Amino acid sequence: METLIIGVFIIGYLAITLEHNLKIDKLIPALVMMAVSWALISFGLEHFSQWFDSSKHALLENFGLLEHEEKMHLMEETLLHHLGKTAEILVFLLGAMTIVEIIDYFDGFSTIKSFIKTKSKKKILWIFAILAFILSAIIDNLTATIVLISILQKIVKERGTRIWFAGLIIIAANAGGAWSPIGDVTTTMLWIGKKVTTDHLIGYLLLPSLVCMLVPTFIASFLPAFRGNLVTTDDDTSEESRPRFSSIMLYLGLGAIVFVPIFKTITHLPPYVGMMLALGVVAIFAEVYSSGKFAPTTPTGDMSSDHDSAAHHSPVHHSLSKIELPSILFFLGILMAVGALESLGILFGFANTLQETMPMLGTELHHEGVSDLVVILLGIGSAVIDNVPLVAASLGMFSEPINNELWHFIAYSAGTGGSMLIIGSAAGVVAMGMEKIDFFWYLKKIAWLALIGFLAGTLVFFWTRTLF
């Protein structure tokens, strides 16, 4: 039965990668894969000898001895656990995306657009890469990607050029998220799980993550896609042409997102709670300001039907209608399907097999049997299989104390390794949805840059860990 479930995952994964060839939206195989995997688990519950308790991060070796009712109860609890953890991410994502759409409703991103005076593709590449690296550490890599691609869509009109920028934004955002406890889901897991502290995480990973961003960006700046200047348009972005509250909503929206980790630190509540508070506050101002949105550019007594409709339309409802729901459902399917593999201990067993069979590479970590190569493969594996369950499994596998270099290497590998495939990270999945980036285009054009950055940062980490 386990082989059958693995087969379903492989077939579903192939269907996702061949989305454009099959003419089937990627969310469909993701949802089918999720449902079929859990259905097979339910049907074959009596045949499984082990079960991975996600809440305790440990295998239940006596699972086969339990009564059927106990197994069903445990399966339901595990399913709810995975749904709860997935829902936390999705609700957080919904809040962040809605705030971004509200900012866009007031044309807030034109404020940042007006700051970028250069038309040089190379300079714009560096501006966006640095912004992605910094913003992702503050507002997490997922939200940073949403914000920057939204700005990018205002600046770069040609889609063929824009997806190149988006690819480098993914690499930079994932690199920036790796060195911050709130920058990526996996680093947040390690932080909440008391495996790393903020000061040590920054000390270990800031330099490797920076190199992971700088090297691919430097190489890409010499590629044909980033030569020359952008094609100018007649789009007017002067102060007079923007709605009255565009700048206010931009700063309010980004400030509300930045407040989320502060709220979490103060209250110790999950990040999505703070994001919902942030959304509520932004929505209040959006509703108040919406009636005056078009006042500066609309002649008195002569308002067009479109402006009249927009002025009386709730900005929150409008923003919710523009959210990329297929990406949300795709994320749901992928995480829940991987949760099925994790529940059966398949990921746990795979990691243990690697641990036993892989040779030591370079300097050993302070744990018998754990090699650098295992953690590097975990990073590469996070591009294929979501990094969240891989890190979750590692929390139960290893017993190193807090701030051991093993946890920091896992944080770096899982955080940056996902850049090697478009569906290997939340930032990539969102960018894929926003720009309709083809899986194989990313594999051919961007994956090698991400791999070089990942390996360069790894070499730097081998040096930084000797400093502590």
Where in the chain are the domains? 87-323
Residue 235 CA to its chain's centroid (Å): 31
Nearest CA among 52, 36, 64, 14 for reference residue 350: 52
User: 68 or 177: whose pLDDT is higher?
Assistant: 177
How much of the chain exceeds pLDDT 90, in percent?
Answer: 21
Task: Please tell me whether residue 435 adopts helix, strand or coil conformation.
Answer: helix
Q: How far apart are CA 165 and CA 126, in angstroms?
A: 10
Contacts of residue 69, defined as CB under 8 A and 6 or more positions apart, other chains included, come to none
Asked if 329 contacts 30 with a C-beta cutoff of 8 angstroms, the reply is yes
User: In angstroms, what is the C-alpha Rg of the chain?
Assistant: 23
Mean pLDDT of 152-180: 89
Which pLDDT score, from 0 to 100, does residue 350 have?
67
Q: How far apart are CA 379 and CA 438, in angstroms?
A: 22
How many C-beta neighbours within 10 Å does residue 155 have?
21
Which pLDDT score, from 0 to 100, does residue 215 have?
96
DSSP 110-154: HHHHHH----BHHHHHHHHHHHHHHHHHHH-HHHHHHHHHHHHHH
Nearest CA among 86, 206, 184, 217 for reference residue 418: 184
Asked if 442 contacts 422 with a C-beta cutoff of 8 angstroms, the reply is yes
User: Would you say residue 173 has pLDDT above 90?
Assistant: yes
* CB-based burial label for 459 (10 Å; 0-12, 13-18, 19+): exposed
Contacts of residue 283, defined as CB under 8 A and 6 or more positions apart, other chains included, come to 102, 315, 316
Structure tokens at 2: 């386990």
pLDDT class for 396, splitting at 50, 70, 90?
low
Most trustworthy range by pLDDT among 11-25, 93-107, 225-239, 391-405: 93-107
Most trustworthy range by pLDDT among 22-26, 142-146, 406-410: 406-410
User: Would you say residue 413 has pLDDT above 50?
Assistant: yes
Task: Please tell me whether residue 361 adopts helix, strand or coil conformation.
Answer: coil
Structure tokens at 376: 């590097």
Asked if 198 contacts 455 with a C-beta cutoff of 8 angstroms, the reply is no
- To the nearest whole number, what is the mean pLDDT of the chain? 80
Q: What is the pLDDT of residues 18-29, one digit of tens each?
A: 776 777 888 899
User: Would you say residue 432 has pLDDT above 80?
Assistant: yes
Asked if 407 contacts 192 with a C-beta cutoff of 8 angstroms, the reply is no
Which pLDDT score, from 0 to 100, does residue 358 have?
60
User: 377 or 177: whose pLDDT is higher?
Assistant: 177
Mean pLDDT of 205-230: 92
The whole-model pTM stands at 0.73
Mean pLDDT of 408-420: 91
User: 266 or 305: whose pLDDT is higher?
Assistant: 266
Mean pLDDT of 274-286: 92
How many C-beta neighbours within 10 Å does residue 400 have?
15
Which pLDDT score, from 0 to 100, does residue 305 have?
44
Q: How far apart are CA 410 and CA 452, in angstroms?
A: 18
Q: How far apart are CA 189 and CA 411, in angstroms?
A: 9
Q: How far apart are CA 424 and CA 169, in angstroms?
A: 14
Contacts of residue 328, defined as CB under 8 A and 6 or more positions apart, other chains included, come to 90, 93, 94
Q: State the DSSP code for 229.
A: B
Most trustworthy range by pLDDT among 215-219, 252-256, 393-397, 432-436: 215-219
Q: What is the pLDDT of residues 309-365, one digit of tens each?
A: 544 468 888 888 888 788 788 878 888 888 888 888 776 666 666 666 665 444 444
Q: State the DSSP code for 402.
A: T
Nearest CA among 2, 20, 8 for reference residue 432: 20
Which pLDDT score, from 0 to 100, does residue 450 have?
94
Helix pair angle (246-267, 271-290), 10° resolution: 150
